[in-house]
Homo-oligomer: A and B are copies of this chain.
Amino acid sequence: LLERFLESVAARVGDVEILSGAACAQRYRDPFQLFVDGPPPPAALRPRSVDEVRVIVREANACGVALWPISRGENLGYGGAAPAEEGTVVLDLARMNRILEVNVPDAFCLVEPGVSFIDLFDRLERDGLPLWLSVPGYGLGSVAGNALERGVGNSPYGDHAAQICGLEVVLGDGELLRTGMGALPGSGMWQRHRSPLGPRLDELFLQSGYGIVTKLGLWLMPEPEASAAVEAEIESRESLAGAIDALTRLKRAGVVQDSPVVASYLTQAALHSTRAEWGPPGAALSGEAEGRLRAALGLGWWNARVRVYGPPEVVDLGVARAEHAFAGVPGCTVRVSRWRAGEPMARAHRGLPTAEGLANRNWCGPHGAHIDLAVGLPLSGAEATRYAFFVSETMAAADLDYHAAFYLRDRHILNVVQILFDQADSAMCQVVDAVYFRLIEDAARRGFGLHRAPTRYRAAAMAAYDFGDGAMRRVRERLKRALDPNAVLSPGKDGLG
């Protein structure tokens, strides 16, 4: 069947690249996998256009072959490019890499899934466009894929999924849908106005296996008149609650539009050094090692950052309020950097995508990797601290280092935990795996929802969403049958198991 499928695709889609064997195995794996779970995908298809995608999907239906669509395959820490189930053919959209529109007055873009953050940034630079990106840690990832997988930055546009405005989607049977105003032929409003008459459908295609997004509209941040970054080194691990509560008050006062972030020292240390420089393997870093590390790299136990944007007077006020907020946190050193329109751009202000975020994979050495967990917590210093201490102690007990960032959103905290490990250490991999399952179970017990998890853990994480004996799961199964009746797309992707 697979052969018939590939032959048939090759015959109908002249321009498609077909990979198999070693080339496919090498490229479409999870570089951060804990275990070799099964054989590599049997083949990968790299189309150039939505028409080719539709033909491929129709042939997949005809031949009963499952597809695993990826944008650029850089969903690192959450499963990479690897299909969840054996025998699934990768549909790699990286060659569909056109930036179809960048609009300055209304501050949006329309991109194909192969466009990376660096591609989009380069376009803005080349044309001198006054639009800022919100970027995740790793700039080689897909702009569209990142938004669809609920990636985050900490600019005011840092909830990337929330910036989506208008999708083009190939459904599981090849039907081509444009959402929102895209359904009005020739409309100029597709990336400007989200709400059609009747239900909006965009959200159906986030982290789901219902369709393949082939175009995505995304709102960008207009360049402000001025901005400032207020960064604080916070000495004590115990000051987390104070820092979060201070930033929460700041955010509620309405002078700060971004998601202030508080991150453990390891988030920086792992980018700029390796674990071996500080302590022996096989045990969590000692207090003494932690002290040496922080002194050498100039880091607080927690490091916080809040940015303000707007007219200079608003920025000044925001800086003053932020300084005042941090002044109430014991053992806190504050640094301010400012920018005004016309000045050269400093990294701390404008979102600059780089590959630097990948550097933390080296923390545990040349076979280092990480798996990540994103969980929503209450916007409360006490509750966030209780959770942070539980996770860090759970990890320490398993000889793992605690690597976490807390993004303060309007009504919750997005807590991203990365577990850094050594893929060459199979005992460590076993431990990491057990810890991850334990964290899933614990979050469910607390009523905190995971909303990102590596492919391997999605079914377990999804199991917690169990109200009404699994009503959400049953509803998603119905939607799956409605939109992908032959279950051709992304088997195992949405955590239905």
Residues of chain B lying within 8 A (CB to CB) of residue A494: 197-199
Closest to A150 in B: B195
The docked-state distance in angstroms from the alpha carbon of A468 to that of B171 is 13
Residues of chain B lying within 8 A (CB to CB) of residue A254: 222, 224-225, 257, 309-311, 314
Minimum Cβ distance to chain B for residue A341 (Å): 11
Q: A178-B468, A379-B192, A447-B189 are contacts. A206–B200 as well, Cβ < 8 Å?
A: yes
Q: Are B255 and A183 in contact (CB under 8 A)?
A: no
Chain A stretch 467-484: residues in CB contact (< 8 A) with chain B:
467-468, 471-472, 474-476, 478-479, 481-483
Residues of chain B lying within 8 A (CB to CB) of residue A178: 467-468, 471-472
Minimum Cβ distance to chain B for residue A376 (Å): 4
Q: Are A476 and B199 in contact (CB under 8 A)?
A: yes
Q: A182-B467, A255-B314, A467-B183 are contacts. A475–B412 as well, Cβ < 8 Å?
A: no
Q: A106-B379, A376-B189, A476-B199 are contacts. A177–B471 as well, Cβ < 8 Å?
A: yes
Interface string of A362-387 (1 = CB under 8 A from B): 00000000000000101100000000
The docked-state distance in angstroms from the alpha carbon of A451 to that of B107 is 22
Q: Are A203 and B201 in contact (CB under 8 A)?
A: yes
Q: Are A317 and B311 in contact (CB under 8 A)?
A: yes
Interface centre among A161, A200, A317 (most CB of B within 10 A): A200
Question: Pick the contact of A179 from B188, B257, B472 — CB < 8 Å?
Answer: B472
Q: Are B171 and A475 in contact (CB under 8 A)?
A: yes
Stretch touching chain B among A24-32, A398-406, A457-465: A457-465
The docked-state distance in angstroms from the alpha carbon of A343 to that of B461 is 49
Residues of chain B lying within 8 A (CB to CB) of residue A225: 253-254
Residues of chain B lying within 8 A (CB to CB) of residue A351: none
Minimum Cβ distance to chain B for residue A198 (Å): 4
Q: Are A219 and B410 in contact (CB under 8 A)?
A: yes
Closest to A476 in B: B198
Residues of chain B lying within 8 A (CB to CB) of residue A204: 199, 201, 203-204
A155 close to B (CB within 8 Å): no
The docked-state distance in angstroms from the alpha carbon of A314 to that of B200 is 35
Interface centre among A107, A184, A309, A313 (most CB of B within 10 A): A184
Question: Pick the contact of A255 from B219, B310, B378, B447 — CB < 8 Å?
Answer: B310
Q: Can you give 29 A-B contacts (C-beta < 8 A)? A: A105-B379, A106-B378, A175-B471, A175-B475, A176-B471, A177-B471, A178-B468, A187-B449, A188-B378, A189-B376, A189-B412, A189-B447, A192-B378, A195-B451, A196-B451, A197-B450, A197-B462, A198-B476, A198-B495, A202-B203, A224-B254, A253-B311, A254-B257, A254-B309, A255-B311, A314-B314, A475-B483, A478-B483, A479-B483
Q: Can you list the 9 inter-chain pairs with the closest CB atoms, starting with the nearest? A: A187-B447, A193-B376, A183-B465, A482-B482, A193-B412, A199-B208, A200-B203, A183-B472, A478-B482
